[in-house]
Structures are given as C-alpha cells and as structure tokens.
C-alpha cells in the first residue's frame, strides 16, 4: 500500500469514526460525560495538592519558633543570646520579647490582667522569637532546636514545626490519593470505552465477518474502532477540562476569602499545562487502549473461522 493511500485510509477512518460518534448524540454524551468526570476527579485532587503546597510555602511564619529562657535570666544575657543567634547561618531574624513586654501585652486582656495582678512577681520569662531561613528543611530545623535546647539559660525551645509537618503529611496523603484515584479512574475509563466500543462492535458484527472473509487483516478491522476510542477519549478529556475550569472558577472567590482571613495571598493553582496534558493525554490513551482491548477480544472470538 502506498503512503498516500495509507494516509487517505487513516483520514477516512478518523472522520468515519467522528461520524459514528455524532450519529448517536445521546449515547456519546453519556459516555463522554462519564469519562470526563472520571478524568476530572484525580486532576482536581492534583490541583488541590498543588495549591496546598504553595500555601505551605507561603506561610513561612508558622516555621517561627520560640525560645523561652529560665525565669531568672537577666535581660543582658537574653540580649547577648539574641545577638549570638543572629550571627548564625540559617537564621533570618531574632526578636527579643522581654518579660516586661510580655506581661504588658498579656495585661491588655482583662481576664489575664486580673490574674496577673494577683501575682507578686512577673511569672513570664524573656522570649526569643526566631525566624529560620526559608531554605531550611524540617530536619535541620529539628537539629537546631535540640542544639539550642542544650544552651545554658534556655528553659524550653518550642518549635511549631508540627503544624507544617501535619500539613505536608496531609498533602502527601492527598497526592497519594490522587495517584490511586488516577489509576482506578483511568481503569474505569478503559472499561467504559471498552464497553461502549463492544456495543458498537455488536452492531457491526456482520460487516466485520464479511470484511474478514474478503481478506481483511485484524489491523484493518481494528482501525476504525481505535479511532472511535480516541474520539471518546479526546471528548472525555475536554469535558474533564471544562469541569475543572468551571469548578476552579466557582471556588476562586471562597478560596481568596479564606486566604485573606488567614492573612495570606493564597490563590488556587490554575490548570497548568501539565494537568491539561495529563487529562487530555490520559483520556486519549485510555480511549485507545479500551478500544484495542474490545476489538482484539472480539476478533479472537471469531477465530479461526474469520
């Protein structure tokens, strides 16, 4: 077969399959919708995880940690410790909150004011609030905290890492969930397309048998159905993109609102090219594979007669 004829044949099959898809609008709509929803779910989880990650990156202040000094430590010693810390690598800034300032701050609250008035002396220690550099990992942070804990006059190092660790663990969990969903729902798309193609095959068994009697190869018989599967996958992918775009648009306002309440400029991660490519590519791949499985199964059922 010459390349020209080969190309023309593929083009005919491509358009022929599109025709077959458009002749049954309701059935196509249902199939394509189910594929779209199945593809949109893992993609949505992915968007959520990406957004969460950028949020974790935004909230650097949750990495701040406090060093409480022994109650009797003199102010000069606290100031010296703060200076010493500022010189270290991996520390952005150190803020000293003196015991007096802390009491004054606490005293603004009437509830605490009464309690404080009842006490003879200031129960609060001097506190150093340390902001680590952005590139410091949680492991290094942990090491720094144990080291500081051993420094003389330090009573307690209160590292607020847990919050970030929990968020990251949650995001890892979601990301893993996204992968599982992608695999399961990818399998579902495969089955949906396979079943739809199987029904298509059933309405064309006569044609397939005659073609095989006239000398058609399995490839020849398979080809139009593969294109059919590709169309289902493509349209399913487009439906998924549509679902995602509308959902993100609907969620955009509330998320911004939520973020501003937390004093953050967080915005939902948009549909990146990677997500777009994964959704459309996943749809096409699953469509093709589903069709291939359905036709190949049918053809092997026809053997050896046809």
Q: Counting contacts by CB under 8 A, is residue 104 touching other proteins? A: no
Q: Which tokens in the block code for residue 112?
A: 């605490």
Binding to other proteins, residues 5-64 (CB under 8 A): 5-6, 8-9
> Residue 51 CB, nearest distance to other proteins (Å)?
52
**Stretch near other proteins under the rule CB under 8 A, chosen from 21-29, 91-99, 155-163, 214-222:** 214-222
**Hey, what are 73's tokens?**
């430590």
| Neighbour order of strands in the sheet with 91-97 | 91-97, 127-132, 65-69, 154-159
Binding test (CB under 8 A) with other proteins, winner from 1, 76, 117, 261: 1
Torsion angles phi and psi, residue 198, rounded to 5: -60, -40
Rounded Cα–Cα distance for residues 201 and 293 (Å): 12
Can residue 97 be called a binding residue for other proteins (CB under 8 A)?
Answer: no
**Of these, 215, 250, 261, 273, which contacts other proteins (CB under 8 A)?**
215
**Shortest reach from residue 292's CB to other proteins, in Å:** 17
Q: Which is nearer to other proteins, 93 or 205 (CB)?
A: 205
Using the minimum distance from each CB to other proteins, give the nearer residue, 152 or 304.
304
Residues 66 and 94 sit within 8 Å (Cβ to Cβ): no
**Burial label, 54 (beta-carbon count in 10 A; 0-12, 13-18, 19+):** middle
- Judged by beta carbon, residue 2 or residue 257, the one nearer other proteins is 2
> Helix, strand or coil for residue 300?
helix
Q: Which residue has tokens 């340390």? A: 130
* 303 counts as binding other proteins under rule CB under 8 A: yes
User: Interacting stretch for other proteins, rule CB under 8 A, among 71-79, 93-101, 216-224, 245-253?
Assistant: 216-224
Cβ atoms of 81 and 153 within 8 Å: the answer is: yes
What is the torsional sign of CA 14, 15, 16, 19?
A: positive
Examine residue 199 and tell whether it contacts other proteins (CB under 8 A): no
Q: Please work out the total of residues on this chain that contact other proteins, with binding judged by CB under 8 A.
A: 23
| CB-nearer residue toward other proteins: 126 or 223 | 223
Question: Residues with Cβ < 8 Å from 44, sequence gap 6 or more?
Answer: 244, 247
* 151's tokens: 């420094």
CB of residue 219 to other proteins, shortest distance in Å: 9
Q: How many CB atoms lie within 10 A of CB 215?
A: 7
Q: Is residue 207 a contact point for other proteins (CB under 8 A)?
A: yes
Please pick, from the candidates 37, 102, 161, 216, the single residue that binds other proteins as defined by CB under 8 A.
216
Residues that bind other proteins (CB under 8 A): 1-2, 4-6, 8-9, 206-207, 209-217, 220, 303-306
């Amino acid at each position: 077969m010459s390349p020209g004829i080969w190309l023309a044949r593929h083009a005919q099959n491509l358009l022929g399959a599109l025709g077959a898809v458009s002749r049954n609008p309701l059935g196509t709509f249902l199939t394509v919708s189910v594929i779209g929803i199945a593809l949109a779910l893992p993609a949505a989880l992915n968007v959520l995880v990406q957004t969460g990650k950028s949020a974790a990156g935004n909230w650097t202040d949750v990495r701040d940690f406090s060093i409480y000094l022994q109650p009797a430590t003199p102010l000069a010693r606290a100031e010296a410790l703060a200076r010493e810390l500022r010189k270290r690598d991996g520390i952005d800034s150190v803020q000293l909150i003196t015991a007096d300032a802390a009491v004054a701050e606490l005293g603004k609250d009437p509830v605490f004011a009464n309690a404080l008035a009842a006490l003879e002396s200031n129960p609060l220690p001097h506190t150093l609030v340390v902001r680590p550099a952005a590139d410091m990992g949680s492991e290094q942070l942990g090491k720094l905290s144990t080291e500081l804990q051993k420094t003389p006059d330090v009573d307690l190092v209160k590292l607020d890492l847990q919050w970030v660790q929990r968020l990251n663990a949650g995001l890892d969990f979601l990301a893993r969930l996204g992968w599982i969903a992608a695999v399961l729902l990818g399998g579902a798309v495969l089955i949906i397309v396979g079943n739809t193609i199987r029904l298509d095959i059933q309405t064309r068994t006569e044609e397939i048998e005659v073609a095989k009697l006239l000398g058609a190869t399995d490839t020849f018989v398979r080809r139009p159905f593969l294109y059919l599967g590709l169309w289902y996958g493509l349209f399913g992918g487009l439906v998924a993109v549509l679902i995602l775009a509308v959902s993100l648009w609907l969620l955009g306002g509330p998320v911004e609102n939520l973020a501003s309440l937390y004093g953050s400029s967080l915005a939902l991660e948009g549909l990146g090219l990677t997500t777009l490519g994964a959704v459309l590519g996943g749809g096409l791949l699953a469509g093709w594979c589903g069709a291939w499985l359905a036709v190949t199964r049918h053809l092997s059922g026809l053997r050896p007669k046809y």
